[in-house]
Structure 1
Amino acid sequence: MRLRLAHCFAVFLLPGIASGLGREVGKKAAGDWERSLVSVEINRKQYDYFQPWAKRVQTVTKAGLLIGPREILTTADGLDDRTLVRVQKGGRGQWSSAEVKWADYPANIAVVTSADEKFWAGLKPAGLADPVRKDEEIQIIRWRAGNLEVRKAEFSRFTVSHPNMSDAVHVQLELSSEIDGVGWSEVAIAGSKVVGLVFSQSGNQLQVLPSPFVRSILEARKKGHYKGLGYFDFTWQPAENPETLDYLKLEGEKRGVVVIDAPKKSGVEPVVRPRDVLLQVDGFDIDTQGDYLDPDYGHLLLENISTRNKWAGDPVRLKIWRDGRAQDVVYRLPKAEDAARLVPEAPFDQEPEYLIAGGLVFQPLTKNYLRSWGQDWERRAPFRLAYFRNQDPAPERPAIVILSQVLPDIFNLGYQESRQLVLEKVNGQKVNYLSDLQQALQKPANGFHTLELMKGDTLQRIVLDAATLEAATKRVLDRYGIGEEHVIISSAK
């Protein structure tokens, strides 16, 4: 089953550290962590997807962990659209200029460095735990108001999901803690080792990137093997109803899951097909719920195998049941960053796209736009838009353009309450991208622009006067203080 569900502190990492940390963080241990934990300050451009022309400046202070010579580990959250990066040690004092050495947004991992020689003096790398044990006493540690704050955390479970920045699916550690205001790469420790980086918080529940997952990427990158995270692009459903497996003539005990959809690629025979029963992935048996027994984490969803020391382009051995017999096939992991989605992630380090025509504001439908409804956006965003997040692109609908809002003007009188509507055609031309809309607006029919909206919406058609459109657009831009009538990225289509 393809999962689409639908912050920062830095750390130095080097193996073989004996810091003398016990179950509790004593004075000596705290002194060791003071030499490993730093602060990372990021100044960045912040965009408002409800007002995509608005550009603000945001300052984010994250945690960082020393991981080697001149390398600080942190999460990638907040690093996109950055304008200035600085680092600080000891929780107070002078800031040093820094730069991002490497960032992987889908994995939510980044490495920061600094050319300031004085900054590195006295710092000491910390070690990453591998594996993470469920029975260890875990603590969250961070700089706060110039002092090292340590809070207890309790293990909840290992789960498989994806962070906010990607559809890539991987193992995560869930912790429970009374600490507040975290989710910016604060370090979770057990004894003298780091067990993960906190990247999200909801109430007392913390989502953590486990150290073995982080370490596997760092080591693969160091060896030149890392090609980005991969994913399974087929969709499956549990096979808990035994009649389903009987219908597919599976012999022996009930096991595996049933593939219900696999993308079709021109000229390429798919390795996995609908109605295949997936029995094993890389030697791991799959049960009827879609879980496998991981030697480090226990029972996990099979999607985790796509990022378990595997990278985009790597082969994965599958055992499937097809046409009444078991077969072994080799599946190559597509790159998660290149995943085709009807509602995609907006490109990183790029301002939002929009087009304004007579006060009508058009935007591509992206997950960044839907996230404007907050952390619980999958439930709070308008259903008619959020519905598309789980849909695959098709030749007839590779992407979606929406009428996001109307800036009131005499020109658009009667339409000023219209918002969040899917645009289908303009002047008879199908619109999938803003560039399509831009071209269609050059071809009015009988002096009017006719905009057709998706069937099912309350408003089905908008008619605009072509002769006065340009003047109305200029008037709206001047009145609302908007500099450009459109931002369209040529590579977006």
Structure 2
Amino acid sequence: MSEMRKEFPAACISHKHDFYVIIRRSDRTFTGTLSGGNITILRGNTITMKNILRICLVLMIIPTLIQCSHLGGRQPSDAAVPPVERSIIRVHITRQGYFHHRPWQLHRPSNRSAIGVVLSAEHILVTALPLANHRYIELEKIDSREKSRAEVMVIDYEANLALLKPETEGFLSDRVPMALTNDTREGDSLELWQIKRSGEVLPIKGTVASIELSAYPLDHSFLAYKLNTRMQGGFIYATLPVVKKNKLAGMLQRYDSQSQTIDIIPEPVISHFLADAADGHYSGFPIAGFGFSALNDPQLRRYEAIPDNIGGIYVQSIIKGGPADGAGLSEGDIVTRIGGVDLSNYGRYDHPFYGRISIQHLIRCGYQVGDTLDFTVFRNGEQKNLSMVLDHRGPQEYLVPPYIIDTPPRYYISGGLVLQELSTTFLREYGSDWSAKAPINLVFFNQNQDYLDPSVREKIVFLSSVIPTSYTIGFEDLTNLVVTGINNRKIRRLEDVPEAFRHPVDGFHKVEFDQHPRVVYLDPDQLPDIHRQITQRYGIDGNFVSPTGK
């Protein structure tokens, strides 16, 4: 350290966490170290009272010198942590969705704001649902307020994750990408980064209460961290980063202010999403394609002659055409092992980090679409090894699509009859308690679609409403009736409707339903006048076909 010393009356030189104190008095120099508020003399003559006073003066100015050592040119040898503002970014969204009960009508535009996480020079991670039906996306740097438009690169509404890319080239060049951490466990302390309007980052600490499978907003199940903490009001964004030691542990998904619990999309789900999106072709999270129940009923075990030493899950349903169906799995099979792990009677396995957890996590986050999954079943008194190729089930592959986002709802209007394809999005417009308030016949199709014969229909085409005109008197109150046929032609999907209306029966259009009044007749010669009235009275333009143009 001798080459660093200067002849100051009093000086303090930083070296890691110790400070070297140099006191110059006449021809005598006293050198010591300051550590934890204590000074140890290294060399020099006997310290007099005056020297002690000088040392006291040094101690008085130490706090200022320490602050200067961190703010000025002399830095501790440990690498400085960049400001957190350079790893996160504001995301402003303008969105406008469709009113599915009147599929030609748009909702009023609305605005949302979120906090995204910079992952690279081109990618920002946010949750997906704030982007639903977006019309405009803008990025804003928290420190400089510089802005850029953004586009969606990849979005997964089921896992509630999305990647954005700024349209301005080099917009993120001065940002610091945030790494992910996969070492979160129950009992760990995490920080939720809230951002004030001023740009100040307010870390909210909370404890991980549990790590378990949870229903995401669109009713798909994924792993989630449950965090116990209280968020500050007034500047809560639609999504926020959850951090552990300046690394991303997850993203805020849901906050319950009454119970003060937070659902977090965890790193394993995020990492699977990013790995899938890395090659530019996003496939989604895989499924096995079967439903199961617990195998803890002793009567069922005796009926199926299942030995006491056999554990597993009871296969209740098979999705036609799905991975399990292709692998030869059958209803009534007992699945005892999946992916090399034993299953409990509740469908759980021993995860090395999270303990007992649902096998759905292994299938969804342990594999990618196209991977082969080996499993073992107990059937007819013996165990049998099978394998399936995992696949993703997109929303349009359901009898009742679980969501319709970013695209207009499909419909067809003829003679004032509004025909649509049933979706869960339509049912959700009945409110948060939609499963109790929506028409029971439509809820039935939504809840039991995996048990229905897919050869009968591909989608549920139904009469959602009747637009009142002088020609619809007598059946203007008809609503929510499933269409079974038009002009003696079966209706399996909405594309069948325009073709069926081209073939009147005995001079009339015959529309058949599964409930009273069973049949409604339309005069083809009156249709042009009916359509004219609808256009003039309600401003519904176009040729009254579905958005696909068919």
The answer to whether the superposition gives a TM-score over 0.5 is yes
Q: Is contact 1:137–1:191 with CA below 8 Å preserved after alignment?
A: no
How far off is 1:452 after superposition? 1.9
Structure 1 pair 417/227, CA: closer, same or farther in 2 (3 Å)? closer
How far off is 1:279 after superposition? 0.6
Whole-angstrom CA distance in 1 between matches of 2:172 and 2:545: 42
Q: Which amino acid aligns with 1:242?
A: P
- Residue in 1 aligned with 2:476? 416
- Residue in 1 aligned with 2:532? 474
Q: Is contact 1:227–1:313 with CA below 8 Å preserved after alignment?
A: no
Q: Is contact 2:400–2:460 with CA below 8 Å preserved after alignment?
A: yes
Q: Is it true that 1:33 corresponds to 2:84 in the alignment?
A: yes
- Residue in 2 aligned with 1:131? 183
Whole-angstrom CA distance in 1 between matches of 2:236 and 2:248: 16
Q: Is contact 2:218–2:403 with CA below 8 Å preserved after alignment?
A: no
> 5+ residue gaps in structure 2?
1-70, 72-79
How far off is 1:174 after superposition? 2.9
1:113 to 165, 183, 192: 165
Structure 1 pair 351/70, CA: closer, same or farther in 2 (3 Å)? same
Q: Which amino acid aligns with 1:123?
A: R
Whole-angstrom CA distance in 1 between matches of 2:399 and 2:333: 25
Structure 1 pair 269/42, CA: closer, same or farther in 2 (3 Å)? closer
- Residue in 2 aligned with 1:190? 244
Structure 1 pair 375/338, CA: closer, same or farther in 2 (3 Å)? closer
- Residue in 1 aligned with 2:437? 380
Q: Is contact 2:91–2:137 with CA below 8 Å preserved after alignment?
A: yes
Q: Is it true that 1:262 corresponds to 2:304 in the alignment?
A: no
- Residue in 2 aligned with 1:48? 99
- Residue in 1 aligned with 2:500? 440
Structure 1 pair 324/118, CA: closer, same or farther in 2 (3 Å)? closer
- Secondary structure of 2:278's aligned partner: helix
1:452 to 503, 509, 512: 512
Whole-angstrom CA distance in 1 between matches of 2:178 and 2:455: 50
Q: Provide, for residues 19-43 of structure 1, a one-character-per-residue CA deviation record: whole Å limited to 9, x for no partner.
A: xxxxxxxxx9997322211111233
Q: Is contact 1:36–1:65 with CA below 8 Å preserved after alignment?
A: yes
How far off is 1:338 after superposition? 6.6
1:311 to 356, 364, 368: 368
How far off is 1:194 after superposition? 2.2
Q: Is contact 1:264–1:270 with CA below 8 Å preserved after alignment?
A: no
After superposition, residues 315-326 of structure 1 pair within 5 angstroms as 315-326=372-383
How far off is 1:66 after superposition? 0.9
Q: Provide, for residues 458-488 of structure 1, a one-character-per-residue CA deviation record: whole Å limited to 9, x for no partner.
A: 5433233332122112211221111224342
Q: Is contact 2:268–2:365 with CA below 8 Å preserved after alignment?
A: no
Structure 1 pair 91/381, CA: closer, same or farther in 2 (3 Å)? farther
Q: Is contact 2:512–2:519 with CA below 8 Å preserved after alignment?
A: yes
- Residue in 2 aligned with 1:79? 131
- Residue in 1 aligned with 2:460? 400
Structure 1 pair 323/254, CA: closer, same or farther in 2 (3 Å)? closer
Whole-angstrom CA distance in 1 between matches of 2:367 and 2:106: 38
- Residue in 1 aligned with 2:522? 464
**Please, what TM-score do these two structures have when normalized by structure 2?**
0.76
Q: Provide, for residues 300-342 of structure 1, a one-character-per-residue CA deviation record: whole Å limited to 9, x for no partner.
A: 2222221122111111111111121112211211213277321
Structure 1 pair 290/177, CA: closer, same or farther in 2 (3 Å)? same
Structure 1 pair 323/67, CA: closer, same or farther in 2 (3 Å)? same
Structure 1 pair 94/221, CA: closer, same or farther in 2 (3 Å)? closer
Q: Which amino acid aligns with 1:132?
A: T
How far off is 1:225 after superposition? 9.3
- Residue in 1 aligned with 2:230? 178
Whole-angstrom CA distance in 2 between matches of 1:305 and 1:54: 42
Q: Is contact 1:242–1:254 with CA below 8 Å preserved after alignment?
A: no
Whole-angstrom CA distance in 2 between matches of 1:279 and 1:258: 9
Structure 1 pair 269/66, CA: closer, same or farther in 2 (3 Å)? closer
Q: Is it true that 1:163 corresponds to 2:216 in the alignment?
A: yes
Deviates more, 1:287-296 or 1:197-206: 197-206
Q: Is contact 1:182–1:200 with CA below 8 Å preserved after alignment?
A: no
Structure 1 pair 190/491, CA: closer, same or farther in 2 (3 Å)? farther
Q: Is contact 1:129–1:212 with CA below 8 Å preserved after alignment?
A: no
Structure 1 pair 322/183, CA: closer, same or farther in 2 (3 Å)? farther
Structure 1 pair 417/152, CA: closer, same or farther in 2 (3 Å)? farther
Q: Is it true that 1:289 corresponds to 2:318 in the alignment?
A: no
Q: Which amino acid aligns with 2:92?
A: E
What number of residue pairs does the alignment pair up? 461
2:116 to 64, 70, 83: 64
Whole-angstrom CA distance in 1 between matches of 2:82 and 2:434: 41
How far off is 1:73 after superposition? 0.9
Whole-angstrom CA distance in 1 between matches of 2:167 and 2:533: 49
How far off is 1:491 after superposition? 9.4
Q: Is contact 1:183–1:198 with CA below 8 Å preserved after alignment?
A: no
Q: Which amino acid aligns with 1:446?
A: D
Q: Is contact 1:106–1:336 with CA below 8 Å preserved after alignment?
A: no
How far off is 1:440 after superposition? 2.0
Q: Is it true that 1:253 corresponds to 2:309 in the alignment?
A: yes
After superposition, residues 269-284 of structure 1 pair within 5 angstroms as 270-284=327-341
How far off is 1:88 after superposition? 0.4
1:234 to 286, 290, 296: 290
Structure 1 pair 297/377, CA: closer, same or farther in 2 (3 Å)? farther
Q: Provide, for residues 409-437 of structure 1, a one-character-per-residue CA deviation record: whole Å limited to 9, x for no partner.
A: 22111222222221212222222222222
Q: Is contact 2:466–2:477 with CA below 8 Å preserved after alignment?
A: yes
Q: Is contact 1:89–1:119 with CA below 8 Å preserved after alignment?
A: no
- Residue in 1 aligned with 2:50? none
Identity within the alignment, %: 25
Structure 1 pair 406/159, CA: closer, same or farther in 2 (3 Å)? farther
Q: Which amino acid aligns with 1:127?
A: A
Whole-angstrom CA distance in 2 between matches of 1:378 and 1:160: 22
Q: Is contact 2:285–2:365 with CA below 8 Å preserved after alignment?
A: no
- Residue in 1 aligned with 2:253? 199
Whole-angstrom CA distance in 2 between matches of 1:419 and 1:154: 49
- Residue in 2 aligned with 1:17? none
The structure with higher relative contact order (CA 8 Å, sep 6+) is 1
**Please, what TM-score do these two structures have when normalized by structure 1?**
0.84
- Residue in 2 aligned with 1:20? none
